[in-house]
Amino acid sequence: MDTVRTLAIIKPDAVRAGNAGKVLSMIEGSGLALEAVRMFRLTKETAGEFYAVHRGKSFYGELLDFMSSGPCIALVLSGENAITRWRDLMGATNPASAAEGTIRKLYGTNVQFNACHGSDAPETARAEVAFFFSGAELPKS
Ligand code: ADP
Ligand code: MG
């Protein structure tokens, strides 16, 4: 199995609540490799571009307000099956349905304020990593 990369984001709710360190610790404990990290605050425009796939959905406007409400931390994780492994560690989108011990179960509040993001497929992972990290910050895989 090949090593792949995925994009993770510790969302503004988790940073604001002081849970970023705990999430990083869970990542380190999971065996996924941490390749790159950046902390920044998105604008509504940049958040809208990142979440363009959800444009037109009922929650899109609120999602942009949320994602631009404070600093977040974007990370590039890698390993065998990293995309699925990170999504498993995050848990279901809605924390109420997320499995025990997952990040969203532990630190999410509701389907919107759910603590973290993860790419959902190889193509989106490549595009999302490139969205936040330049070639100068991360060598080509
Ligand atoms: P995931 O983050 O698990 O890949 P989606 O791609 O479906 O989930 O949604 C992107 C983000 O939009 C979610 O993580 C969450 O913050 C927000 N979101 C999704 N569904 C809803 C909803 N029904 N109401 C409010 N916010 C939502
Ligand atoms: Mg998604």
Q: 77-114 pLDDT, tens per residue?
A: 999 999 999 999 999 999 999 999 999 999 999 999 99
Gap between the Cα atoms of 71 and 52, Å rounded: 20
Q: Are 77 and 6 in contact (CB under 8 A)?
A: yes
State the average pLDDT for the chain: 97
What's the confidence (pLDDT) of residue 93?
A: 98
- Annotated catalytic residues are 117
Q: Is 72 exposed, middle or buried (0-12, 13-18, 19+ CB in 10 A)?
A: buried
Backbone angles phi, psi at 108, to 5 degrees: -80, 155
Which ligand approaches the C-alpha of residue 87 most closely? 1
* Residue 136, pLDDT score: 85
Q: Would you say the CB of residue 109 lies under 6 angstroms from ligand 1?
A: no
pTM over 0.85: yes
Tens digits of residue pLDDT in 33-63: 999 999 999 999 999 999 999 999 999 999 9
Atom from ligand 1 closest to the CA of residue 114: 16
